[in-house]
Chains A and B, each alone.
Chain A
Amino acid sequence: MSFVQEKAENLDACIKCSACTAMCPVAAVNPLFPGPKILGPDAERFRLEGLQLGTTLLNYCSKCKTCEITCPSGVKVTEMITRAQEDAQMSGAGKTLQLRVRDHLLGRAEYLGKLATIWPNLTNALLRVPLFRKFLEQILGISSEAPLPAYKQKFKGSGPGRQSKKQVVFFPGCFVTYNDALTGQAIIKVLEHNGFEVIVPPFHCCGTPLEGNGLVREAKEIVQKNLALMSPYTQAGVPVITGCTSCGLALREYPSPAMSGAEHHELQTYDLFEFLWELHERNELREDFKEIQISLGYHASCHLKAQGIGTPSVRLLRLIPGVQVVDLDQGCCGLSGSYGFKKEKYVTAMQIGNPLFNRVRRGAANGEFQTVTTECGGCQVQISHGSGLKTEHPVWVLMQAYGLN
């Protein structure tokens, strides 16, 4: 099927029911945002005739993909909006110089991370100075109230770890690399505990922050670099594993490398818990878990939901004796990568997250759970910021159950 034809068919699948807009977290709190139905399939009809919308409205989409998950007719709403942003960008419509500079910076989580982790303590100290944050807001449009994550000592991979015939490649992602090296090491320990040798090639950012900030061409370049680093392993059948749900979604959307011959080459990237669950299903997971008396509130990130693999971490954590998991099921946290860091979107992001924050506070107050767990680093930061409750990656529960920490 030709691309244009596919585009038109996907467009016709929209029956204008408005279920997407009814579920859109941004439309619910921001009247200026016309919602996914109008920006996606409705405006697409005009775009097919060559009429472009400016980027200002399009950029209010936080790319959480709730509309795509919600659509009963399988319309790729977010995809349409992303493509429209890309086209509008090319036609030059839209952003002021300040926002262009800001989005170039926020899109480059990798360069920012490299710069910030040269001397993380200095960076963090600086980011704590209110005057400096005001300066960032004035000059760069980065909200002075936004929960910018602290930088840590850079993640350096596994070092001389376990050697094994069973190998996996670990894709750490920017959050682990620059903000949360300990979680990266925990993931490696858990995989090694299960008998794997963990290889960490010098990957770049997955490309999601670039795409989220409208830098689609740059995103495509970085994808090619990562694919080149990955291909010797994927060709040898070594799975690529990530603990970050946004990186995980991006890797699943990477173009499949053109393979020689007719051999079917299946995608080799896995979410950490998806991978561990498959081990469990094959009776290959170490399940010598220690009992842990803990109850957790679990938040499924939007980019995990968009992967269509369910919630494997909930399944897995429930295998551990004593662990209770409550699925919070309150939609998007609002941060959506760097969306909630932007000064014109900070308030919207906090309003989006409010039902979740309220649910967390209520659950913690009535003793339903003690802490919150979610795979996504961005969600962790936003939930802690909005609710005040400690929020960690679920791998830490597994570390405790294995007695590894």
Chain B
Amino acid sequence: MWDGIIIGGGLAGLLAGIRASERGKRILIISEGVGSLTYSSGALDFGDVEQLQNREKHPYALLGEAPVRAGMDYLQMLFPNYQGTWGVTQDLLTPLGSPRKASLVPSGQNAEALQDAQQIVLMAPEGMKDFFPELIKTNLEKAYPQCIVYIHPFRVSAFESWYALGKSVTGMEYARYWQSKPGLEALKRVLYCMTQIFFPNQESIKNKKSVIIFPGLAATFSDPLKEVLSKAGLPVIEMTSFPPSASGHNLYCALKQKFKSLGGELLAGTGVQRIESQGKLCGKAIVRSKGRFTAFSARSFILATGGIFGGGIEVTAEAAQETVLGLPLYVPAEWTKSEFLGEQPYARMGIEVDSELRPINSRDKEVIFENLRVVGRMLAHWDPWSENCGGGVSLATGWFAGEKL
């Protein structure tokens, strides 16, 4: 018998698992894959909390401000290298080199230094996948017109066989290499060569405010890497990347490691087929093990299976269905709008809950399961794209569910 079973091992599920384990609960997380953090930039958006709190049925409105703040503080407490201040957003760079804002940012991605920079050196690792230095240069020049942007192409001997084969190196592969012992040494050499070219003497560093932009690098969870970068003598800004992303992946690994170190168990690679319940209480999660179902009993459950992308909601041409318990979903009358990048109503699809995050019937608002809480993307009435609050809702609801379990 577990104290809690969490279905789904993404940002919200893992955070709930960490908080509950920290409170001494025995927790099992059952996760279909590795969650979608590996597709994310690693930076976390909270959106305009004050405004969203007033939006009827929005998760922020259900919880109120305190849990949203607590979610933000808690992540920073777990990982002090994540920086953020309530109500203040920071600049970071998209994979195309244009600036954007986010609330909680891995320290290396903070791009504030570009505001008063005069000179930018864009590091351009040979053969890096989905990396377009010329385009980035153009975007940087547009966003920071006071800057001169130089591109510094370089090769890394460890990847010579990749180059020879014409095989591209993903940002994740570069990022992983820089964290290794030979990688750290290579990085020192790469930075040294760059300095020799652009800043041959101390004067040239002092005279102009210069910044290095480095794609395929994720130093947040690596102290040796941070040390090498701190000795560069100039601010080094990491870029976010297209999926799969090293920063998002590192956040996933750090959360997973934290959860396991608190005694939690993570069962990854398979999903929950159904939940056995009695009346208003969930009792057992029936897991699709290889060749047979395995039953795991718990006192409380958290549903963190993600939305349509995460597989928690299955959509066909006719209907949308919650995949584990068949819970009723809020489904907007009109699913899509013609403007491709505009707001899309289907994004608000999800489970309606009460202020304790328990699923409710839309008709009479009656709680369906007393010991089940719904967190993260699976909740109804919010849109991570138009409201920029994906990380915030996951952290706030995850923290809250972990606190209450």
Contact = CB atoms under 8 A, between A and B. Distances in A.
Size band of the interface chain A makes with B:
35 or more
A269 interface: yes
B267 A310 contact: yes
B244 to A, nearest CB: 4
Interface in B110-151: none
A69 B244 contact: no
A269 B34 contact: no
Given A19-B244, A31-B165, A306 B269 contact: yes
Nearest to B172: A22
B74 interface: no
Interface string A77-94: 000000000000000000
Interface in A10-57: 17-19, 21-23, 28, 31-32, 34
Nearest to B164: A31
A403 interface: no
A249 B167 CA distance: 34
A252 B269 contact: no
A18 B244 contact: yes
Interface string B222-258: 0000000000000000000001100001000000110
A74 B270 CA distance: 8
Interface in B142-182: 159, 161-162, 165, 167, 170, 172-173, 176
B243 A17 contact: yes
A72 B35 contact: yes
Contacts of A256: 291
A112 to B, nearest CB: 27
Contact of A71 (B33, B167, B260, B294): B33
A398 B250 CA distance: 35
A306 B290 contact: yes
A137 interface: no
Size band of the interface chain B makes with A:
35 or more
Interface in B165-224: 165, 167, 170, 172-173, 176
Contact of A31 (B162, B244, B271): B162
Interface string B310-328: 1100000000000000000
Nearest to A23: B34
B363 interface: no
A73 interface: yes
Given A19-B244, A73-B311, A329-B256, A281 B1 contact: yes
A226 to B, nearest CB: 14
A74 B34 CA distance: 11
A253 interface: yes
Contacts of B291: 251-254, 256, 267, 269
A23 B173 CA distance: 10
Nearest to A307: B290
Nearest to A15: B309
A310 B39 contact: no
Contacts of B267: 308-311
B36 interface: yes
Contacts of B32: 72, 74
Contact of B290 (A28, A71, A308, A310): A308
Interface string A54-79: 00000000000000111111100000
A291 interface: no
A32 B28 contact: no
A327 interface: yes
Say what secondary structure dominates the interface of chain B. mixed
B273 to A, nearest CB: 11
Nearest to A270: B292
Contact of A72 (B1, B288, B297, B311): B311
Contacts of B161: 31-32
Contact of B310 (A72, A251, A267): A72
A252 B290 contact: yes
A308 B269 contact: yes
A305 B267 CA distance: 8
A19 B260 contact: no
Interface string A306-344: 111111001100100000001101000000000000000
A265 to B, nearest CB: 11
A266 interface: yes
Nearest to B287: A308
A311 B28 CA distance: 11
A85 B269 CA distance: 23
A314 B170 contact: no
Given A306-B269, A329-B260, A19 B34 contact: yes
A308 B165 contact: no
A327 B253 CA distance: 13
B36 A72 contact: yes
A246 B32 CA distance: 21
B34 A72 contact: yes
A69 B311 contact: no
Nearest to B310: A72
Interface in A177-208: none
A287 B271 CA distance: 31
B34 A70 contact: yes
A15 B76 CA distance: 32
B78 interface: no
B103 interface: no
B41 interface: no
A51 B167 CA distance: 22
Contacts of B288: 308
A22 B169 CA distance: 11
A40 to B, nearest CB: 15
Contacts of B294: 274, 308-309
A196 to B, nearest CB: 20
A269 B294 CA distance: 12
Nearest to B289: A308
Interface in B1-48: 1, 28, 32-36, 38-39
Nearest to B256: A329
A297 B271 CA distance: 27
Contacts of A269: 291
Interface string A262-306: 000011010000100000010000000000000000000000011
A314 B263 CA distance: 10
B265 interface: yes
A11 to B, nearest CB: 17
A308 B285 CA distance: 13
B289 A72 contact: no
28 contacts: A17-B39, A18-B243, A19-B39, A19-B244, A22-B170, A22-B249, A28-B176, A31-B167, A32-B165, A69-B33, A69-B269, A70-B33, A70-B34, A73-B33, A252-B290, A253-B291, A256-B291, A267-B292, A281-B1, A305-B269, A308-B269, A308-B270, A308-B294, A309-B267, A309-B289, A310-B267, A327-B260, A329-B257
Given A31-B159, A281-B297, 5 more contacts: A18-B243, A21-B170, A28-B176, A69-B33, A318-B263
Which 7 A-B pairs have CB atoms at the shortest separation, nearest pair first? A69-B269, A72-B33, A308-B270, A252-B291, A310-B267, A308-B289, A252-B290
Interface of A: 17-19, 21-23, 28, 31-32, 34, 68-74, 249, 251-254, 256, 266-267, 269, 274, 281, 305-311, 314-315, 318, 326-327, 329
